[in-house]
Chain A
Amino acid sequence: AQSVTQLDSQVPVFEEAPVELRCNYSSSVSVYLFWYVQYPNQGLQLLLKYLSGSTLVKGINGFEAEFNKSQTSFHLRKPSVHISDTAEYFCAVTLTSYGKLTFGQGTILTVHP
């Protein structure tokens, strides 16, 4: 079975600073990896996904993530954050065959002016 660990439960940053949200996964087979964002009182919205190919994946709102198979990581980055990026971010993994997502515990990103 696969599992996902988000290493930081909360990340406070100042506006226009860079940010990295860390995600590690464990699985004995190949997986697909996703980052979702959840704004207050809303559902989840897909930021980006890694299926295969280039290990650097670009998503919406200026976010990108890098898949590192040797370190089993899929960290999310943004070079310059905005106040509107304040939200909770979830890393998720699914096995290639099925589609059931396993989520990490979430990281609350708070951007201060």
Chain B
Amino acid sequence: EADIYQTPRYLVIGTGKKITLECSQTMGHDKMYWYQQDPGMELHLIHYSYGVNSTEKGDLSSESTVSRIRTEHFPLTLESARPSHTSQYLCASSESGGGRNEQYFGPGTRLTVT
């Protein structure tokens, strides 16, 4: 069983609010990822990190930002939420060692911006 946690699970918030989606893992994984998933669509990578103080933007452009100050923690922040940000956000982590290591996923945060 993977030990990766996301809070909150569900969030409904008004336009213009600042929000932070939390992601933590207790497996000591170096690599962490954020994906955005719209209903009926594939997952798109929006941010990833290969270690502390390392963050990169993913394949899908996103107005969110991330930080990686501790190995176990990889929060995602939206400075000013908009209805277009409504989606499900999934966090994942994996060991180092190239692509052969599977990614473990958290349960996701379903965000609705009104």
Contacts and interface: CB of A to CB of B under 8 A. Distances in A.
A42 interface: yes
Nearest to B6: A43
Interface residues of B, number: 28
Contacts of A90: 42-43
B101 A100 contact: no
9 contacts: A32-B99, A36-B105, A41-B107, A43-B92, A44-B43, A96-B98, A98-B99, A99-B99, A105-B42
Interface of B: 4, 6, 31, 33, 40-45, 48, 58-59, 90, 92, 94, 98-108, 110
A9 B40 contact: yes
A86 interface: no
B114 to A, nearest CB: 20
Contact of A105 (B4, B41, B103): B41
A98 B98 contact: yes
Nearest to A97: B98
Nearest to A106: B42
Given A4-B42, A98-B99, A100-B33, 13 more contacts: A36-B105, A42-B107, A43-B90, A44-B103, A45-B105, A46-B103, A49-B100, A94-B99, A98-B98, A101-B45, A102-B59, A103-B43, A106-B42
